[in-house]
Structure 1
Amino acid sequence: MLLAAAKDDVLLKRTKIPFFAGVAFFLFQFLAESLTALEQIAGATIRFYDLTLPLISALLVLYRMKALPILGVFFLYSYFYHPLPDTLTLSSQLLAALISQLLYYLSTGKRGAVSFGRSQLTAQRIGWLVCCNSVLYALFHHCLQANFDPESVAEIFTVQRLINVQWMMNSCITGIPFCYLLLRICHKPAWGLMYFRQVKESVKSGPSIFFQVAWWLLLLIITYCLISKNLNTLLFTDYSLLWLLPVMLWGTVRIGHALVAPVWVIILILLGNYIDGYISIANTLTDANHLHSLIISSTTIFIFSLTIVATGVISSRSKKYSQHVSRLYRAEPNTGLLNFQALSMDMDKHSAEALCLIRCPELNELEQTYGVEFRFEFVKALSAYIANLLSCCDRIYYSPGHGLIIRLNNSPDIPAFYRSLRAFRFQWKTSILGLNCGVAYTSEKRIIRNLSEAIKQLNINSYISLLHGRPLSLSPTVPGDNIVESGMIRDVLQQAIDKQSLMLMAQPIVSTMLTAQPVISVKGKFRYHEILIRLKTADEKLIFPDTFLPLARKGGLLPALDITVIEQTFRFMQTRKGSDPDCYFSINLTPESLHQTDFLDNVSTLFKKYSIAPYRIIFEIIESEILDNDNVSEILRSLRNAGCKIAIDDFGTGSSSYERLRMLNADILKIDGSFIKNIINDPFSYCAVKSFCEMAKLKNMEIVAEFVENEEIAQMLTSMGIDWLQGYHIGKPVPVELAEL
């Protein structure tokens, strides 16, 4: 049956039948009568391909009760102007069509009026509109003839009757969709344009022009052989009928049923009118032989029609399923927008004049407030707003990791677009929000061709655009080394964690009381070392923490990094069990590690695994983490109870205060280097450090001064009562294997 035009699930509005629809029905009916072929065989009339019943049925499918006035006028016209046999035939057709349509409506409801080719309705349409329609027509026609002309009526179960029923079924299964198409085009020409666009698209997306031309030629040759009266050659008999099926099936599958179905109707009209071309009464000798040939051909043609319809429906369903899967593959599931994969595929098929990326970092914060649904609704609303600003050929894509990406086919006026974008407002429940977006774009073909790299650079520039409050153009001179370097560093970091191959450095922290009584915190030692880490690339280049720690934080690798540092340190201490059995180390812990619920268990396991005494380890943290999280406080309390020392790092910066110092429970206070390096010339730094020392002594905490760069600073700090000194003047970081333990 005919394929439906795209998105044709909406039922027709049936306010009333347009006048020209009635006119069109009568014109098509006159045409159907002129195309119907009749033949008298053995005293019975055989009607070959007849479109009258299909036309009536199609009108009822399309308009239902609203079609009755037209059919009433049509019956009256036939009653007054046609002979009695024709009127009886029409009456049979009308009764059969009305009853089968009623049964069809009860089976399908209102959805039965949609276009033909729907797999969900195929069984009902074949059952009621084809089989029931044809059988009822045959029964009514026989009964009416028996009442009005008893002499002309033979037995009901005759070969001629069977031929008539099969040709009528053939007419209904192909003719009803064809007549529906014609009537609906007359009802709504825009729908017809959609149908022709679908045919054009199926032809365009089908096989190459060579195969399509070959198909048309082969179809014309077979049809010519069937309708041409040259019975001395086998090709000009019903033998050629057998070749129609594979040819039509190939066209249905490869070119599309939307085109093939009308073509098959035209071929059937020719086959009905040129029966004598492939089944000649002269060559069958007797009526019995001729009827036998006719019943075989009518059965064959009906099976062909049924097979073509079924293949068309299955093929249509498969194509729709493939298109649906393709849409899912190309769409972002939460918003329905085209995704990055779709962008990549479209860029391979079509050139682009420019790429533009729009990002709104504020969404991350608002998502935590309003929920994840807020993000998706905002993206959909923004994309709909942007679509109105673009030309019809431009496309919008969405990548959750980046933002909205626009493929522009014309040179863009980005400043005007940016101004319009800033006017966008998003309503969420009772709130109306205007969110600032960063816009980065590029028109450089060299950059656009490398799509993945282009998106990376546009993403970075979108943040800069947000800071500057203007759209930012990405030019070919924008270096991409930092992006590549970041990716390389991330890879090196991951491998170092996985292989536990971090480069451990040790910087000495020396006591200021070398000649006095040894300090308590390190069990009589005058020196311990802080563990610092470096990464080493394949070409032996060093990467420092200020470069790779931000990447580790973004990637969520800090907890794994801290555990790796602890384990590598413990392993080193185990190897020095003989030569340096009492060395001490200070290890930094990041806030992310202290928030891990299994951190304490992991550290306890490592202490046992490497047989390290806890008192030999000092853990350095930022002081705010102790007070701001109950779980962190409990972890630190457990570490202290086990024998570890806790050092407060970078004290004096951030949220540090005397109130916080009063509430701290730690062993060592490390004063931030920003105070120490200016202590000679800056009275404020001197007073701050002096104050920190006095307050720490009240808490019975030892004090470490960082950033000691010369002897003058060292002497001043010693005179102030600082316990430990750390800095380049005391000792630079060296590989832990070379440290003087």
Structure 2
Amino acid sequence: MIKLKLWNKLRHRWWGQPLVWSLVFIPLAGWLSPHIMLPEGKVYLVYLPLAVCISLLMVYDWMAIPGIVVAIMIRYSVRLGPEIGIIMTLLYLFCLGVCWLGYRCQTQRDWCARINVLGFTPPRLIWLLAFPPLLFILSLQLMIGMGLLPDEMGMVFGRANLMHTLVNFHALLIAGLSSTPLFYFVLRVLNNPRFLRTLRCRFRLEVAPGVKTGETLLWLLLLTGMVFALCYPTGVGQKEFWIDYSLTLLLPLMLYGAVRFGYHLNCIAWSVALLALFFNYRSYVRVDGRLHDLAVVSSMMLVFTLSVFLLSAINSRQLALFAKMKRASLQDPMVGLPNLRALKRDLALAPRSTLCFLRIAELDLLSRHYGMQLRIRFKQHLASTLRKGLAADEDVYQLPGYDLVLRLNGYDDEAKVAEVHATLENFRLVWNGLPIHPPLGVSYCGIAGEVEHLHLLLGELSSLADLSLTSGEPESIRNDRQDVQNAVKHKVRLLHRVQRALDGDGFILMAQPIHGVRGDSYHEILLRLPDDKGGALSPNEFLPVVHEFGLAYQLDLWVLNNTLKFMDRHRDTLPSARFAVNISPPTLCRPTLSRDVRQALQQYAIEPYQLILEITESHLMQDIHYAATTLRELRELGCRIAIDDFGTGYASYNRLRMLEVDTLKIDGSFVRNMLNDPVDHQIIASICKVALMKRLHIVAEYVESEEQQMALRALGVDYMQGYHIGQPVPLTSLAAGTQAEA
């Protein structure tokens, strides 16, 4: 172990691993370089020493230079003498120094990026592939031409040696393109043996989807067989066949490997195959015209190598991008948890599961007070806490909004759900020093295999989670909860009916008379929704759905516009008719309400005094400032404002002091029993006294008898509304009745 640690420390010393591997690999590369001895000089088929030097620089950076200098000096001094050794060392040092300096200046800190990263392909092709052989050949020719070096490589100026120079240049390019990555991988493994595991992991990541081990082995077997067939000694006639036809079959085989197996495997396999082919060039190259055939073969191999490596790198990058996009599509970018798509995939993979829905109540309110970051952190910490008690293949999933979903192993596992519920009860998020624990609702159900309508199932679980907030216990989808499921389905059907009515003017407008004690009168507009049986649904049945799904403003404007349209159409038969239209609290808090009302009045040429807007206060009126501002603008416009159902809920005396209105409508619950209950009688009397002091008109609802009417009149009520006064009738019948009387 001590020796291993010492060896690892030598990676960062120029006299350590860089020097050792330079002394080992540079002589080895010279010995492995296939070449031909001709009368004119030596011709290399693949020149490996320069490729090894570049690989050493890619692993050890500038620390490799001393080792390269020592290795080159020893290699050439032993063979050709110290003077030649010094000149060759300076030649190598010049070529490598210029090219590596240019590469480092262009790539900066990213010089050591992975060898197959396409973003660094241009600088590597220029500085590490094209320039080193070019500088090396030109410098070598210059030295030989000046008589400083012997013509060992046959690289002197002149037309007779042009083919020798071309083949040698191809040898340098092929070695730089194919053997540099091979030596780089070997050095990385020797530098750190754990890189072998990294290399194997890259093999798996770069393999195309659906590739089996048998396919990889078959491809390697075909490549080995084809290389063996090319290297096997044959007759002269067969050599023409191999060089003209069979050699080109390597390209489609390698292109197939580039598409299916990625960069690293193709790089290693093709580099080894090239060395084997050039070592046995005599088996597929004719003896006569050998240099010409070698030039053709080397140029062909150079093009093959460049095509295969580029396609491999591009395909590996595409696979990596596809895998990254696939991972991103299965994860929520804000919270960092698996999303609904990942849940659907995992449900399909698991034979039996328990789906657990978590409703985090009041998280919206907390987010408004503490910021959106609280919502994100709360979900992240809650998921992290829950995962501690989950199995490896179980997980927590993000849902849009303020909910989470758990997938547990086993079908309808109540014990696991109970553990989850206990974890939720003990969970606290400390935010700015304060422990935060909003109410959490839990619902669950068993699932066998893939769910076709997962969104509908999550909708049912959401309703059960709301019920769990009340019961304090996890709720399950079972037969005894069929009423909840039916309620959800009924709500969805009702929502569709409301939406169709809004789109197609399907609502029915009713008008109920309100008579004044002084002889004047007006009508309140009531809304009905037709059902499938020929009847009509009352507002109490469909308005909760309207408010829940945010359709209140759209519905209120529909009622307002259609009422004004009726008044415009029948202004001759109903001159100066007044109508009261109900406005919901969310609509009243809209800053644009007064502008929309003004535009509607101008569009239909209706006087503002003919429009009375009835508002119902509730907890939905979130901002009393906006409401007061809107009411003031509407009154300045000329409209009358009435508070509906005064005396109940949030319609209190305190709000009466804050809001500027014209009329109070006493809730019918007080009027109904006022003759028998003295408390109700006194409540109505107190409301009338306050209204008189503020000079407000008073309307009493649910007047159903003559006795009630007389008692209310005695208390100072100005207007009466109820079945005793008149029942609601279709709005269109008002115009028809007027025409009939005429």
What is the one-letter code of the residue matched to 1:566?
Answer: L
Aligned partner of 1:179 in structure 2 is: 183
Aligned partner of 1:569 in structure 2 is: 563
Counterpart check, 1:257 vs 2:263: yes
Match of 1:552 among 546, 554, 558: 546
State how far apart, in whole Å, the 2-side matches of 1:533 and 1:660 are. Answer: 27
State how far apart, in whole Å, the 1-side matches of 2:277 and 2:582 are. Answer: 91
- Secondary structure of the corresponding residue to residue 318 of structure 1: helix
Match of 2:512 among 498, 507, 510: 507
Shift of 1:180: 1.5
Equivalent positions of 1:17-416 (< 5 A) are 32=29, 35-67=32-64, 71=68, 91=89, 95=93, 96-97=95-96, 100-138=99-137, 150=150, 152=152, 154-157=154-157, 158=161, 159-203=163-207, 205=209, 215-216=219-220, 218-231=222-235, 232-233=237-238, 234-281=240-287, 284=288, 289-344=289-344, 347=347, 353-408=353-408, 413-416=416-419
Native 8 Å contact 1:174 1:305 kept in 2: yes
State how far apart, in whole Å, the 2-side matches of 1:445 and 1:202 are. Answer: 34
Q: Percent identity?
A: 30
Aligned partner of 1:532 in structure 2 is: 526
Native 8 Å contact 2:524 2:579 kept in 1: yes
Shift of 1:264: 0.7
More displaced stretch, 548-557 vs 344-353: 344-353
Equivalent positions of 1:465-480 (< 5 A) are 465-475=468-478, 478-479=481-482, 480=485
Counterpart check, 1:599 vs 2:602: no
Shift of 1:640: 5.0
Write the deviation string for residues 551-583 of structure 1: whole angstroms up to 9, x where unpaired: 323433222211211222233345555655565
Shift of 1:448: 4.1
What is the one-letter code of the residue matched to 2:39?
Answer: A
What is the one-letter code of the residue matched to 1:296?
Answer: V
What is the one-letter code of the residue matched to 1:63?
Answer: Y
Shift of 1:100: 3.7
Native 8 Å contact 1:398 1:405 kept in 2: yes
Shift of 1:586: 2.3
Shift of 1:613: 4.8
State how far apart, in whole Å, the 1-side matches of 2:195 and 2:179 are. Answer: 19
Write the deviation string for residues 406-465 of structure 1: whole angstroms up to 9, x where unpaired: 444567733334444455554556666445544443332379442111222233333344
Native 8 Å contact 2:628 2:660 kept in 1: no
State how far apart, in whole Å, the 2-side matches of 1:730 and 1:53 are. Answer: 107
Native 8 Å contact 1:529 1:586 kept in 2: yes
Native 8 Å contact 1:507 1:531 kept in 2: yes
What is the one-letter code of the residue matched to 2:178?
Answer: T
- Secondary structure of the corresponding residue to residue 353 of structure 1: strand
Aligned partner of 2:3 in structure 1 is: none
**Any stretches of 5+ residues in structure 1 without a counterpart?**
1-11
State how far apart, in whole Å, the 1-side matches of 2:449 and 2:673 are. Answer: 51
Q: Which of 1 and 2 has higher RCO (CA within 8 Å, sep 6+)?
A: 1
What is the one-letter code of the residue matched to 2:207?
Answer: V
Shift of 1:298: 1.0
- Secondary structure of the corresponding residue to residue 237 of structure 1: helix
Equivalent positions of 1:705-716 (< 5 A) are 705-708=700-703, 713-714=708-709, 716=711
- Secondary structure of the corresponding residue to residue 128 of structure 1: helix
More displaced stretch, 256-265 vs 651-660: 651-660
C-alpha distance 15-459 of structure 1, shift in aligned 2 (>3 A): farther
C-alpha distance 484-33 of structure 1, shift in aligned 2 (>3 A): farther
TM-score (norm 1): 0.82
Native 8 Å contact 2:528 2:539 kept in 1: yes
C-alpha distance 656-534 of structure 1, shift in aligned 2 (>3 A): closer
Shift of 1:665: 5.0
Equivalent positions of 1:557-636 (< 5 A) are 557-574=551-568, 576-577=570-571, 580-581=574-575, 583-622=577-616, 629=624, 632-633=627-628, 636=631
Shift of 1:271: 0.9
Native 8 Å contact 1:25 1:183 kept in 2: no
Counterpart check, 1:497 vs 2:502: yes
C-alpha distance 19-152 of structure 1, shift in aligned 2 (>3 A): closer
Aligned partner of 2:6 in structure 1 is: none
C-alpha distance 143-468 of structure 1, shift in aligned 2 (>3 A): farther
State how far apart, in whole Å, the 2-side matches of 1:557 and 1:180 are. Answer: 66
- Secondary structure of the corresponding residue to residue 398 of structure 2: strand
State how far apart, in whole Å, the 1-side matches of 2:246 and 2:491 are. Answer: 71
More displaced stretch, 595-604 vs 137-146: 137-146
What is the one-letter code of the residue matched to 2:537?
Answer: I
State how far apart, in whole Å, the 2-side matches of 1:648 and 1:386 are. Answer: 49
Match of 1:653 among 648, 654, 665: 648
More displaced stretch, 661-670 vs 252-261: 661-670
TM-score (norm 2): 0.82
What is the one-letter code of the residue matched to 1:493?
Answer: V
- Secondary structure of the corresponding residue to residue 702 of structure 2: coil
C-alpha distance 421-627 of structure 1, shift in aligned 2 (>3 A): closer
State how far apart, in whole Å, the 2-side matches of 1:660 and 1:581 are. Answer: 35
What is the one-letter code of the residue matched to 1:529?
Answer: H
Native 8 Å contact 1:18 1:187 kept in 2: no
Native 8 Å contact 2:43 2:154 kept in 1: no
**Any stretches of 5+ residues in structure 2 without a counterpart?**
1-8
Shift of 1:255: 2.9
Native 8 Å contact 1:696 1:703 kept in 2: yes
Native 8 Å contact 1:356 1:439 kept in 2: yes
Native 8 Å contact 2:664 2:696 kept in 1: yes
Shift of 1:604: 3.6
Shift of 1:635: 5.0
Native 8 Å contact 1:508 1:530 kept in 2: yes
- Secondary structure of the corresponding residue to residue 553 of structure 2: helix
Shift of 1:650: 1.0
C-alpha distance 57-677 of structure 1, shift in aligned 2 (>3 A): same
Shift of 1:290: 0.7
Match of 1:453 among 448, 453, 456: 456
- Secondary structure of the corresponding residue to residue 114 of structure 2: coil
C-alpha distance 597-659 of structure 1, shift in aligned 2 (>3 A): closer
State how far apart, in whole Å, the 2-side matches of 1:536 and 1:273 are. Answer: 90
C-alpha distance 445-476 of structure 1, shift in aligned 2 (>3 A): farther
Native 8 Å contact 1:104 1:128 kept in 2: yes
Shift of 1:263: 1.2
Aligned partner of 1:676 in structure 2 is: 671
Native 8 Å contact 1:676 1:705 kept in 2: yes
What is the one-letter code of the residue matched to 1:271?
Answer: L
The total of aligned residue pairs comes to 713
Write the deviation string for residues 117-161 of structure 1: whole angstroms up to 9, x where unpaired: 112221222222222333444466668888787475744343323
C-alpha distance 269-671 of structure 1, shift in aligned 2 (>3 A): same
What is the one-letter code of the residue matched to 1:54?
Answer: A
Write the deviation string for residues 42-99 of structure 1: whole angstroms up to 9, x where unpaired: 3422333354443332222112244457657756875798786997999589635455
State how far apart, in whole Å, the 2-side matches of 1:423 and 1:650 are. Answer: 43
Aligned partner of 2:5 in structure 1 is: none
Write the deviation string for residues 206-243 of structure 1: whole angstroms up to 9, x where unpaired: 56789767755653454344222234335433532223
State how far apart, in whole Å, the 2-side matches of 1:662 and 1:431 are. Answer: 37
Native 8 Å contact 2:510 2:526 kept in 1: yes
Native 8 Å contact 1:662 1:699 kept in 2: no
